[in-house]
Structure formats: C-alpha cells, structure tokens
Structure 1
C-alpha cells in the first residue's frame, strides 16, 4: 500500500464567533495534570477507522475538528512544566492539532487484508510525526490523518496523547468532532475540565494499599540495588532474554457463540456465581497465552487490567462529562502451571476478585498517596512504562468494548471498521467490538513469533 501525503498542517480551535481567538480571559492558562494523568502512559494512543463512501470532504472534517477543539481546548494545547510550581500541566495556548491529508491510488478492498492481519504497514495511515526518527514524541496532543482511497472510502488515523485523555475521554472527543462536522450544535458531550481540582486528598490522608509496588516503583537502577533477588527482576530478565525474538500481532475473532461457551465453562467450575463476558474472555486468553508461551510451575504470571474509576468512585464521576484520565489497574496473579492446570473458572475468579478490589477505597487511597509528595521525594516512577517491548511472562490488557469509539459519524454513517493501530509490544492485548455483525469481539494479541504460532493452535480450545 503506497500512501501519498498530500498536505500537513496545524488546525487551531475555531470559536463560535468565527475567530481563532479564545474567549476573553481564557488565553494562556495552564491546567495541572491530575494524579491519574501523571501515572498513566506518556505516549500517543493510535486508532484506525474505516468509512464507506460517501463521506464529507476533508474541508468539512477540518472545520469540524477546529470547532471541536474550541470545546475541548486541552486537546489543542501543549504539555509542559507550568509556572509557579504547578508541575506537569497542559498549556491551553490553542496551538492546535496536526491534520494530514493523504491518498492511496487504489481501492480500500485491496488493502483490507492489512486490517485483518495487522502489520507495520498500518503505521502509514498515521502522521509520521508519531514515530519521529529521533525518538522524541510529537508535541501536538492530537494527530489525525485522512487517507482517501480511489473507491471513495476514507480511513482515519487518530492519535491522542494518553496523559490528556483516557479511552472514555478520547471517545467523547471523537463523537464531538463528528457532531461538529455535521454542524450539530451545541457540540456534546460538553467536557468537564476540572482535572486540577476534582481529586483532592482527604484530611487526614489514609493510604491503605501498597501503591509503591503497584502504580509506582523505584527507577530500574535503584530497584536493582535495593532488590537484587526480587521477583520482578527475575521477570524482567526473563523478558529480556527473549527480546531478540520477533513479535507479531494477531487478530482473534471471538464470536457470540464462542463467548457463550466460555462463560458456560467458567460458570461450571463455580459453586456460587457465573462470570461476565469480560471475566471469562480475559481468563481464557490468559490461560491460552500462558500455555502457548510454555510457562510452567514456579513461574509467576500476572495481567495488568485497566479499571475505570468513573462508576467506582463515590460520588460517581460523570462518564460522559469528565475529561482526563481516571484509570488505575488490577493485577490478577497466578503460578503459570497452576493457572493452566486448573479450570477456566479459577482464572475467571482471579480476574473478578482483582478487578473488584479496585474500588472507591482503593482510588481514594491512591489519591492520598500520589498527593502526599512521596512520589517526588523518593523519585518514584510510574509502572506504566511506554518503553517496554516485552512483558513475558505477564500480559497487559486494554478493553474498548464499553467505550463510544464506534459512535463517530461525520455525516456518512458510523465506521464499518475500527481497530487499534499496529502495536507490537509483546504481551499486549486489546479487546474491541467486532464489525462482523455476529455480536462478537476481536482480540488483538501481540506475542513472540514462536509463541504466537502455538497460540493459534490452541486459542479456540476451551479447557
């Protein structure tokens, strides 16, 4: 697939009065990152959409983006160190988003295998500045590329900086962009941008959980000096010895019928309850990948699972209003041999219990810990590490099943395809809705080549 770049520009916010000037008194402020923004990944998260023709011209999408940025001003800002000791903040300077127009001299149908079998070619559908050769991240917090195919189909490559918005917030922004493009006013949902003040610590604070070992850690060199025989060091060494192996991304389709069979098998091992679709699917993938990796007794394995605090905190945080990050992680753990040998319901129970434990008390405890100054005093760094390339024997899971990503409509209808871009971090998993119309889902699995071949042989076996 040969992608020709037609133009690249910066799109700045366009306000209701038709100017690029912010409202009176709204120029140049800084919005400090919250404790949840600071602990997440410092990278752009990239998505791919495909739309059938007809779709509005690029000029309409550009105008819609400008209007959406006027409502979601943080997306048009820049990250930096704020004045007067504010620390890491978003500068609301209306600097704008990157907007790239591209074309492919051929029909999208000829390139559809790239969507079915993710490969590095998918990165051509995003602005190249996401992956600068010098390793520096793009300064724009939003980057989009519109790639037009000869058949009239449109592929949108979207990338948003994770420290500005989690999945739910990014989904809300995209929906707002679609509404603005369709000239529907007011743009909704209207963002609640109070990340700097919403999560105040309690007085007195109550740190009731081990956040030093969960969301934060010592920098690698200090950690090695302090814990020469720590289990995490063993896990890192395990991953590093295999890092030379090739990593591939595989898309696994889980039909509605297959998921129903997973849930039934998980429930069969439970005396008191059944398990949700999420718990059953994650348990199955965890066991199958552990078996495919050839991990046995004595090797610890865990899954890092994103958990949203929007409905868990008390009072609840507006799901379609709050703009920013509000995610922590659950870590179900097991001995690899025990995990594979015991029934599916055992793994499902580990997932259920770990996620349930990340409740309001846990979120409040984290706020108190992260606001106490201990992170800065001890030089702690987030465990959410964007530079990791291999997670074996562990996994990291992100689910987009309950997020409104697929509600994006520029005027020609919702996308007929949606997926994460090519992301070859070994051990990463993405769950996304399926567009096959069977009520199923897609799992994007990144593994070392030899492990992936074994995974393909066993991934549909329900044990």
Structure 2
C-alpha cells in the first residue's frame, strides 16, 4: 500500500467567527494539568477512521479544524509549566499539524493489511520529535474513501475527551453547533471546596496509580506494529474476532450456576476470557501471580460534583484484579469475571475522591512517587492490560459523509505484550474485535486457545 504525502502544515486556531462562551479560557495563558492528567500515560495515542465518499475536501476540513481549535485551544498548545512551576498546557496557539496524503489503491483491497499488519502506520502521523499535541493525516484513496489518522497526546485528554474533540471537528465541518460544549476548568472541578467534605484517603494508591521511582529503562527498539526487544524477541499483533453468537454463549457459561439472577457485561466476559487465554499461552507456573489492568472511566462514577459531559481533560483510573495462574485456569470462567466485576465496582466515587486527596496531599512529592502508567516500561509477562473502546458512539463522528465504516487503534511507540484493545467489530455481525499483542513465541498457542469455549487444560504444572 503506497502512501504519498503531499503537504504538511501547521493549523492555528481561527477566532474570526468563534463563539467561545468561556471567556476565561479564551484569555487564559495556561491550563494546569489535573491530578488525573498527571497520572495518565505520557505518550501519544493513535486512531484511524475511514469514511465513504463523497468526503469533504481539504479546503473545508482545514478551516473547520482551525475553528474547532479556537474552542479546544489545548490541542493547539504545547506542554510547559504554570506560574508556580507545575506541569501545564501552555495555550500558545502554536497550532496542530495537518498532513495531506493519497493512496494509490482502493481501500477495500487494503483492509486486511490494515487489520493484521503494520501498514496502518502509514495512515497516521509519526510523533517522533513532535512538539504538537495533535497531528492529523487525511489520506484519500483511489476509490474516494477518506481516512483520518489521529495522533493525540494522552496527557491532554482521556479517550472520551479526545472523542469529544473529534466529534466537534465533524460538527463544525457540517456547520452545526458543538455538542457537548467543552468544559476546560481542570483546577476547581477536583478541589475539595466544601468544609463538610474534608480530604479522606480511604484506599491505598501506592502500587495502583503510583509506584516508587526506579532508575534505568528497559532497552528496546520499536518498529511499528512489531516491537523488537533487546533479547531479540518480537511482539506481534493479532486481531481476534468474536461473533455475537460466540459472545452470547460465553456470557451464558459465565453466568451458569447463578440461577439466572446474575449477568456479566460483554467487556467483563471478553476480558476474562482473554486473560485466561493469554495466561495459558504464556505457560505460567501454578503459583505465579497474574493480574489484569482495566481502565475505569470516572466520568460515570464521580458524583459530587459530577464531571460535565464536555470536560476536556482526563478522568481515568485503573482496576487491578489479581490471582494465580492455577486459580485463573483451573476455576471456571465465572471466577475471572467476578474478579474483574468486583474490582471495577470497587473503583467508585469514593475511590476516585480518595485518589484526588492522596495525589493532592504532598505524599507523591515527599516519597518521590511516579505514575504506574509508564509506556516506556514493559510490564512483566504475567499481566494483561485491557483498554475498552466498546462504548464509542461512532454514529456521532460525521464530517458530512456519514459515520466511519472502519476503525483501528494504533500503538505507541510499539505494541507491548499483553496490552489489548477491545472494540466493536466493523464486520457487521454485531461482534467484537480484540487486538492482542504478544511475543511471537506465545502467539501460536494463543491462537489455538482464544476461540475455544472449553476450559483451559489443567496440566501437571497446575
């Protein structure tokens, strides 16, 4: 798949006819990072969306992007510090990067390459050495399909925050009002302002969101969708497709022996199954500990005050279900599902506020703690990390040519073994896709077990 880049330019906010209702934000110099922003991944996130023709020309997309940046100035800014030396987004209006490219093929003939190989890398901007917090590549295929590849820095926003910006760009392109209206205040939203709500650290956050500072880095050389590590092993990505019928049967098995009074979500079932399949493929010893990290969206959990729908920052923490390889593989699927369900439920409003209080207490600075969300550190090969994209309302992303007919998440700077994306399938069968990166030596074993509904083999080592 040959991609030709024709232009690359900086797009700055256009305030000519902006209706920014947040006067304080419009005149601000910086946006201080919140406690949630600070523990988020210090990396870029990649998304690729494909749209059917006829698509808007660049002469429409670029001016609409400039107007959207006037409402979302964070994405046109740069990282820096505020007046007190704290990490912040400097609202410099320096601009976002827009790249225009063409593909000399029909999109339909490239889908398999984009799904299973590293060709997807050519459809979003590379961030090496980039200062921009947002980079976009618009690639037009010979059939008229438009592919928008987004490279967005994760410390600016979480997944819903990024999504709101992309939806807003589509709305401006179509000439309709931005909805939801962006909310930029990251300072007062997570501050204890009421005397009857004193700071209370009710949970342990060391080892969950924070860890001791460690020296050195794990060496590795990245090459797109294949990561080559110092010991010569590769991490390769495999797309698993689960049909609606397969997931229904999986849920039935997970809910068995509960008298029909208990049911699990699609994510809980799929995540539990993948956790077991990966653990079996890795051949872990019976007593080895394994855990799965599940991102938990605080927008639906924080109640007092609630997080506005249009909030532009991050409100994500993680649940950490854990067990041993023996327990995970010998016990029924329901066991893993209940572990995940319990830990996700535990990450509630009280837990989020406990995190806010701990992160604001000064303990992080005194103890020299750093975030556990560290993209530069390869996790132990006993763990699994699941990022759920099932809730993305794709129908809302419309640049005047309808919602996307293809979506693919990317990896930065390269896939990490066990870091899994779960999302709605675009095959039209109501199923679910999972992009699973594993070391090549374990991938064959995983492929054999991931579609099986029978319990994992309980061999002698377990």
Residue in structure 2 matched with residue 58 of structure 1 by the alignment: 58
Counterpart secondary structure, 1:355? helix
Change (3 A) 1:167 1:319: farther
Report the Cα offset of residue 116 of structure 1. 2.4
Change (3 A) 1:406 1:418: farther
Distance 1:213 1:91 in 2: 31
Residue in structure 2 matched with residue 90 of structure 1 by the alignment: 89
Q: Does 1:102 align with 2:101?
A: yes
Change (3 A) 1:282 1:366: same
Structure 2 contact 18–70 (Cα < 8 Å) conserved = no
Report the Cα offset of residue 27 of structure 1. 4.1
Report the Cα offset of residue 274 of structure 1. 2.2
Query: Where does 1:112-261 land on structure 2 (aligned, <5 Å)?
Result: 112-117=111-116, 119-128=117-126, 130=127, 132=128, 136=129, 138-184=130-176, 186-201=177-192, 204-221=198-215, 244-261=232-249
Residue in structure 2 matched with residue 265 of structure 1 by the alignment: 253
Distance 2:284 2:142 in 1: 48
Distance 1:359 1:194 in 2: 22
**Farther-moved stretch of structure 1 (285-294 vs 416-425):** 416-425
Change (3 A) 1:244 1:406: farther
Residue in structure 2 matched with residue 236 of structure 1 by the alignment: none
Distance 1:308 1:196 in 2: 19
Residue in structure 2 matched with residue 321 of structure 1 by the alignment: 310
Change (3 A) 1:241 1:61: closer
Distance 1:247 1:25 in 2: 43
Structure 1 contact 269–343 (Cα < 8 Å) conserved = no
Change (3 A) 1:286 1:5: same
Report the Cα offset of residue 201 of structure 1. 3.8
Q: Deviations over 1:347-396 (max 9, x none)?
A: 00000001011011111110000001111122110000011345411011
Gap regions ≥5 residues in structure 1 = 223-239
Report the Cα offset of residue 317 of structure 1. 2.8
Structure 1 contact 79–89 (Cα < 8 Å) conserved = yes
2:421 to 427, 430, 441: 430
Structure 1 contact 201–367 (Cα < 8 Å) conserved = no
Counterpart secondary structure, 1:353? helix
Report the Cα offset of residue 273 of structure 1. 1.9
Structure 1 contact 286–303 (Cα < 8 Å) conserved = yes
Q: Does 1:344 align with 2:325?
A: no
2:263 to 255, 264, 274: 274
Change (3 A) 1:241 1:71: closer
Distance 1:434 1:241 in 2: 30
Counterpart secondary structure, 2:255? helix
TM-score between both structures, scaled by the size of structure 1: 0.89
Report the Cα offset of residue 407 of structure 1. 2.5
Q: Deviations over 1:228-270 (max 9, x none)?
A: xxxxxxxxxxxx9996311100111111111101100000144
Gap regions ≥5 residues in structure 2 = 217-227, 456-462
| Stretches (4+) displaced over 6 A | 22-25
Structure 1 contact 256–439 (Cα < 8 Å) conserved = yes
Aligned residues: 437
Q: Does 1:375 align with 2:364?
A: yes
Distance 2:173 2:407 in 1: 19
Query: Cα RMSD over matched residues?
Result: 2.3
**Farther-moved stretch of structure 1 (257-266 vs 62-71):** 62-71
Report the Cα offset of residue 121 of structure 1. 2.5
Report the Cα offset of residue 460 of structure 1. 0.9
Residue in structure 2 matched with residue 227 of structure 1 by the alignment: none
Residue in structure 2 matched with residue 440 of structure 1 by the alignment: 431
Counterpart secondary structure, 2:112? helix
Change (3 A) 1:406 1:331: farther
Structure 1 contact 269–344 (Cα < 8 Å) conserved = no
Distance 1:429 1:319 in 2: 28
TM-score between both structures, scaled by the size of structure 2: 0.90
Counterpart secondary structure, 2:272? helix
Q: Does 1:309 align with 2:298?
A: yes
Report the Cα offset of residue 153 of structure 1. 1.2
Residue in structure 1 matched with residue 323 of structure 2 by the alignment: 334
Report the Cα offset of residue 318 of structure 1. 4.0
Distance 2:180 2:346 in 1: 30
Counterpart secondary structure, 1:211? coil
Change (3 A) 1:362 1:390: closer
